[in-house]
Structure 1
Amino acid sequence: MATYIGIDAGTSMVKAAAFDERGRPLGVESRPVSLSLHGGHAEQDMEEVYGAVEEVLTSLTAVLDDPVELIGLTGQGDGVWLVDDQGRPVRAAISWMDGRAHELVDEWQSSGVVDSVFRRSGSAMFPGCPGPVLAWLDRHEPAALDAASAAVYCKDMVFQRLTGIRATDVSDASMPFLDPRTRAYADEVLLTLGLSHRRRLLPPISDPVAVGELPESGTRIANGPYDLPACALGAGVTAPGDGLLIVGTCLAALVAVDELDLAGEAAGLHISTDRPGHWLRAMPAMVGTAALDWVLNTTGVAHTEVNGLLEATPPGAHGVRVLPYFASSGERAPFVEPRLRAELSGVSLESTKADLIRATCEGIGFAARHCLEAAGLTGSLAICGGGTRSPAWMRLFADVLGRPLRIVEGEVGARGAVLAAAERFGVELETAVWTEPTSVVEPDAERAEFYAKAYDDHLERLAAARSRARAT
């Protein structure tokens, strides 16, 4: 029987998952990786990330009974991973969560650069995306750029180290240098950002995705789309209008589209996929489960307690409200506001930990609704990510969003990476079987009506918070 492996090099965890030919899980190996946060900077050790990939792949293949047919690779997007000719680090990787370029983004917003780039690439820049990070490095660490052979993305670094091939794909290249119409780099964007002299650092775009072999085993491997579009594939979100909500470190809302509309607000991005004429309108908010993690760590509440606490307090959390914008680089979707920060209100001496936890989960739910509305959701909605492990939170999401949720559990990104690799290698898999939802959660009509009014209040508080952020 054939076995398929998906590797997902995430921000906080690297995983390798094995599946049989019907998409049933055979095993998962995972290793945590660290994220260094200091003074608004967020960096990762490339050797640690690559070492974790080697470990999970070795450990997983050692326990499999059948030979591996192929491997699909995915990983976190954005940021800047400067490498030399061998794919080894020139400096620490700068994460998508980095905020060092926020003043530059402020400057570009005021001057119209952000809007101009969006009209060309379909992507609104934020501090942790490659455009601002490369421009910041060009100003403050030019020697690092001089020493580098390429500025790649996480999975591309891993793919080069595994196969010796340097390449990226159209999904990673989408932010912000790709022209989504031509599927090639837009030199006008580089010129607008003052980076034309650094063009040599952009990795070659392989369209369709690049393929290679592991040198020792000869196993075929494909350098698939990055984690957001990989999750869309793994959740079966391909029909125009259908959407996916990823409740992970990043709260990402994706909607499949077959037309480009670059006339709206310069926010989010249009992710090109392996299918020409098909994009994902993406609104990846900066903080998802990371916001809840901060609250849990601060209050001393364990993750295992969340489900019970959500059920211990009613909708509205007794008046406690949270604007969940905890990222040090502000927010990037469905608007760009680098100086926006989280706010907590309505707290009294009678407020409980349960109130605070529910208010945080509700705030994240409101942010998700905002993103999905901006992305243009009209069809069905799938949901995946670590947040799906809490049934109470999934019911809350269904109520806040006012629609049924197709719950897709397991290693969805790794699953999508396998499906992308199989298509690239011409291996036929039953996609509908691989992407079948685990369950469907229906909203409660009464709670949905309550949350519709609470959402309007959330938008009003958010508008006021954005005004204060701009004034700082």
Structure 2
Amino acid sequence: LWSDARAAGVVDRWMADGTAERAYRRSGNMLFPGAAAPVLVSLQANEPTTLEAAATAGYCKDAIVQRLTGVRATDASDASLPFFDPRARRYDPALLDLYGLSCWAHLLAPVDPSPAPLRPLTAEGAAISGLPPGTPVHAGPFDLCATAIGAGLEHPGDALVIVGTTLGCGVLTDRVETGGVAAGMLLCLPRPDRWLRVMPAMVGTPAVEWLLGLTGIRREEIDGLLERSPPGANGVVCLPLLSPAGERAPFVDPAARGQFVGLSLETSRADLLRALCEGVAYAARHCLEAAGLGGAGRVVLGGGGVRSQGWRQILADVLGRPVLLARQPETGARGAAMAALDAAGVAYDREAWSRPDGVVEPDWAGAARYDAGYAFYRDRLAAAHGNWRGPD
């Protein structure tokens, strides 16, 4: 599970000795505590009998597909991190060796070709699901990839921001690049010549839920309070690094922690809320820039956070460009269905399935304010970085 922080010490060690960066240069994927490699190393050290008893080290959806179809397999999108060669679309023995996990290679499920095939529902799967035996089953891609498909990302440079449990930011690309800052993910899409360069920051909407719990703000008050505080939140700035597991994009630091700057006795609940929403928007801009967003690509917004009219306006203003609203409901589920239709060879109106629900234009008059706010956010982030420390 991505949110499992128990292997943070393994990531710390690999960050310090260069293992993490060497792995990134081969795969385009940076490690974080919940990734499979540190989790397996942690289990090897602390729960060896768990590994010895295991048949597969896989992903949630792959376990479900195995129960439904009897087939032990995964797809290229889920296999992308952390043992994969994204160009050849197969496991890389050199990466397994780098992590010290070659002896556990047999636990990795075989990787399906791209796009992944359909498989018939078994009698056991029919009993579990209530569907007729023989019903075609498609695993579906990694959730970020499915959402990119459902949001209509078609051309290299198109981008996605999912304000959900995490802040999933990704840019569609037609080439594998492993240079630059070692952070984020490079996920294989069903189309063999397309990848999603992803910077998935750890916290999205849970940051707002946390603040609502502290302050007593009700959900129905969010948009009204965002209007009550002006752009810039009366000088309050938030670094929304609130996950106990630290941060994984656009940088990796298990010790990263959040902060509010600029508080005074005059700071209101509205200021705190706006500063937090602006902080998440600044984090999205940082992630998209790190993922390679250029000037020509479309940006599509999705996730529960953009149900807030005020928050999606902040995102458009901070990004400084029009943003499209992903087709609702359930953009990711829509994308998974589209991937299944593609795998089945079924003709359908792809544009209609992924047509945006609307567009949010930025307030161009306030662009300079948010450019300055973003620069200050980056300065505060750099200053805070040296002061983070893990739990004693």
1:454 is aligned to 373
Task: Show CA shifts across 1:337-363 (max 9, x none).
Answer: 110011122222221111111110000
Cα distance in 1 for partners of 2:188, 2:93 equals 18
Which amino acid counterpart does residue 315 of structure 1 have in structure 2?
P
1:147 is aligned to 53
Task: Show CA shifts across 1:137-175 (max 9, x none).
Answer: 111111111111001111111111222222110000011
Is contact 2:254–2:390 with CA below 8 Å preserved after alignment?
Answer: no
Where is the strand percentage greater, Structure 1 or Structure 2? Answer: 1
2:180 matches 1:264: yes
Q: How far apart are residue 226 of structure 1 and its match? A: 1.2
Q: How far apart are residue 211 of structure 1 and its match? A: 2.2
Q: How far apart are residue 431 of structure 1 and its match? A: 0.6
1:426 is aligned to 345
Q: How far apart are residue 183 of structure 1 and its match? A: 0.3
The alignment partner of 1:309 has SS state of helix
Task: Show CA shifts across 1:68-100 (max 9, x none).
Answer: xxxxxxxxxxxxxxxxxxxxxxxxxxx211111
1:402 is aligned to 320
Which amino acid counterpart does residue 349 of structure 2 have in structure 1?
E
2:118 matches 1:211: yes
Q: How far apart are residue 288 of structure 1 and its match? A: 0.8
Cα distance in 2 for partners of 1:298, 1:410 equals 30
Cα distance in 1 for partners of 2:53, 2:332 equals 33
Stretch moving more, 216-225 or 179-188: 216-225
Q: Which runs of 5+ in 1 are unaligned?
A: 1-94
Cα distance in 2 for partners of 1:133, 1:333 equals 19
2:101 matches 1:185: no
1:197 is aligned to 103
Cα distance in 1 for partners of 2:390, 2:384 equals 10
Of 387, 402, 417 in structure 1, the residue corresponding to residue 336 of structure 2 is: 417
- Give aligned-pair identity as a percent: 49
Of 258, 282, 285 in structure 2, the residue corresponding to residue 366 of structure 1 is: 282
Which amino acid counterpart does residue 201 of structure 2 have in structure 1?
A
Stretch moving more, 110-119 or 214-223: 214-223
1:120 is aligned to 26
Q: How far apart are residue 471 of structure 1 and its match? A: 9.0
Of 268, 274, 299 in structure 2, the residue corresponding to residue 381 of structure 1 is: 299
Is contact 1:286–1:327 with CA below 8 Å preserved after alignment?
Answer: yes
Give the number of equivalent residue pairs.
378
Cα distance in 1 for partners of 2:65, 2:99 equals 28
Is contact 1:122–1:270 with CA below 8 Å preserved after alignment?
Answer: yes
Is contact 2:255–2:390 with CA below 8 Å preserved after alignment?
Answer: no
Going from structure 1 to structure 2, the CA distance change for 1:250 and 1:471 (only over 3 Å counts) comes to: closer
Is contact 1:399–1:444 with CA below 8 Å preserved after alignment?
Answer: yes
Is contact 2:73–2:112 with CA below 8 Å preserved after alignment?
Answer: yes
Cα distance in 2 for partners of 1:370, 1:403 equals 15
2:14 is aligned to 108
Of 140, 165, 173 in structure 2, the residue corresponding to residue 224 of structure 1 is: 140
Where do residues 52-71 of structure 1 align in structure 2 (5 Å cutoff)? none
Q: How far apart are residue 376 of structure 1 and its match? A: 0.9
Q: How far apart are residue 470 of structure 1 and its match? A: 5.8
Cα distance in 2 for partners of 1:308, 1:221 equals 45
Which amino acid counterpart does residue 203 of structure 1 have in structure 2?
A
Cα distance in 1 for partners of 2:166, 2:172 equals 19
Which amino acid counterpart does residue 138 of structure 1 have in structure 2?
Q
The alignment partner of 2:81 has SS state of coil
Stretch moving more, 380-389 or 155-164: 155-164
Cα distance in 2 for partners of 1:214, 1:297 equals 44
Of 435, 451, 462 in structure 1, the residue corresponding to residue 354 of structure 2 is: 435
Cα distance in 1 for partners of 2:113, 2:209 equals 38
Task: Show CA shifts across 1:414-455 (max 9, x none).
Answer: 000000000101111111010000000010012221110000
The alignment partner of 2:57 has SS state of strand
Where do residues 311-390 of structure 1 align in structure 2 (5 Å cutoff)? 311-378=227-294, 379-390=297-308
Cα distance in 2 for partners of 1:410, 1:384 equals 10
RMSD over aligned CA atoms reads 1.2
Cα distance in 2 for partners of 1:238, 1:167 equals 27
Which amino acid counterpart does residue 276 of structure 2 have in structure 1?
T
Task: Show CA shifts across 1:189-222 (max 9, x none).
Answer: 1110011111111111111314223343132120
Q: Which runs of 5+ in 2 are unaligned?
A: 127-131
Is contact 2:76–2:113 with CA below 8 Å preserved after alignment?
Answer: yes
Cα distance in 2 for partners of 1:174, 1:327 equals 24
Which amino acid counterpart does residue 68 of structure 2 have in structure 1?
L
Normalised by the size of structure 1, how large is the TM-score? 0.78
The alignment partner of 2:168 has SS state of strand
2:70 matches 1:164: yes
Which amino acid counterpart does residue 316 of structure 2 have in structure 1?
A
Segments ≥4 residues shifted beyond 4 Å: none
1:239 is aligned to 155
Cα distance in 2 for partners of 1:303, 1:396 equals 17
The alignment partner of 1:344 has SS state of strand
Cα distance in 1 for partners of 2:216, 2:389 equals 33
